[in-house]
Amino acid sequence: MKAGIRSIGWWVPEARLDAQEIAQAYGLPAGAVAGAGLHSRAVAGPDDHPSTMAARATRHALGAAGLALDDLDLLIFAGVTRDWPNPWVAAFGVLHELGAPGCAGFDIANRCAAGIDALWIAKALVESGTHKTVAVCCADRFDHYLGPQDRPARTPFDTMYSAGAATAIVSAEADNTMAGYAHYTNPRLAVHCATGPWSGGSRAPLDRRGLEAGHHLWQVRMSVRDLDDISRYEVEADRHNYPSIMKQAGVDGFDLVACSPLDPGPQLKALQDLGIDPAATLFTVPRLGHIGPADLFLILGIAVASGRAVGNRVAMSMRTSAYANALALIGAGSDPGIRVAGQGVDLRLWQAAPSPERLAEEHTP
């Protein structure tokens, strides 16, 4: 028995801020945001939380697959943010929103790489026979960590973090197979604490002084050397992960690469160096902002829904400062065979595949 992705569903808030509005909100010079490649960003409403958005995306995914809620027996939440602090479990929040008390659930936390890890875990559970239908939910809302909130942005990339959700249904009934997985951990693991809130955990509990200083918000503690080391590490990760999943899947290339770097320039060059056509990509960040691990599901879902010639060899790849992974998805026919449905995305923006020259022009700060 082999497992794959049967369907993908998404839900993205319809409200948007354009580049000029984002620059004003963050106190950046006019043009700084557009210069980093961001045209617009989804904006969450007051009732749009990781659990509520994930539930909406999951309903779309189940509907696309022709499945009922009772068919779902496990839900894995792989988003970065949560409605409530730990030890609250987002998976049960999503199941509560869905009205599915008979379904099992758990969270996996690995920043943006968690979506791929969760897919591989779901594959193993389905193929072992312990579960039949697994939903992998990725939903995030970053504005409480990285929103303007009277704090200046350190770089234009800080303004890209957005809101939305996407869910993949993993099943043995899929018309594709997850055929390869690879990961690569940064040898300099000290970088794991370079970003994130300063207080709110056991090492520095949140107190009034820390709250007033904003230590509960997202912080960046990286030097120029750290950034250079991370850039080198990401290239090493690509050189390790892409060839590994090609070998496992028995292919010599990919027709679509779902990846979501904030700065696509180095990623495009890495793909080219590995013999992968840089035009075999579809970036959602410029129009929607960075929604976390949901980006990869959105890229694949939008590519299918917009009528792009996706092909049957798909790579999903995510890189973080400490960890990177990749997954190969091979369709049984001429395409991935994934059913899709969603709300809040204008598919017309991605109907034409851009040339490598256009990609480089649009996404070079």
Q: What is the mean pLDDT of each run of 10 residues along the chain (365 residues)?
A: 96 95 86 88 96 98 98 97 93 98 96 97 98 98 82 77 97 98 91 77 86 79 73 91 97 94 84 86 93 97 93 95 95 96 95 55 47
Q: Assess whether 335 and 277 both reside in one domain.
A: yes
Q: Assess whether 88 and 148 both reside in one domain.
A: yes
Number of domains in the chain: 2
Q: How confident is the model at residue 352, as a pLDDT? A: 65
Q: Assess whether 139 and 247 both reside in one domain.
A: no
Q: Assess whether 235 and 132 both reside in one domain.
A: no
Q: Assess whether 266 and 332 both reside in one domain.
A: yes
Range of the domain at 245: 178-362
Q: Assess whether 28 and 87 both reside in one domain.
A: yes
CATH assignment of the domain containing 68: 3.40.47.10
Q: Assess whether 69 and 163 both reside in one domain.
A: yes
Distance separating alpha carbons of residues 62 and 135, to the nearest angstrom: 9
Q: How confident is the model at residue 365, as a pLDDT? A: 42
Last residue of a domain, one of 137, 158, 175: 175
- Here the tokens at position 7 are 């369907």
Last residue of a domain, one of 175, 195, 218: 175
Q: Assess whether 159 and 195 both reside in one domain.
A: no
Q: Assess whether 17 and 158 both reside in one domain.
A: yes
Q: How confident is the model at residue 291, as a pLDDT? A: 97
Q: Assess whether 12 and 46 both reside in one domain.
A: yes
Distance separating alpha carbons of residues 233 and 322, to the nearest angstrom: 9
Q: At what angle do helices 50-65 and 90-98 cross, to 10 degrees?
A: 60
Q: What angle do CA 180, 240, 126 make, to 5 degrees?
A: 20
Q: Assess whether 57 and 162 both reside in one domain.
A: yes
User: Is the previous residue joined to 87 through a cis bond, with omega within 30 degrees of 0?
Assistant: yes
Last residue of a domain, one of 122, 148, 175: 175
Q: How confident is the model at residue 224, as a pLDDT? A: 60
Alpha-carbon distance values, 19 to 4, 28, 41, 142 (Å) = 37, 10, 8, 17
Q: Assess whether 105 and 157 both reside in one domain.
A: yes
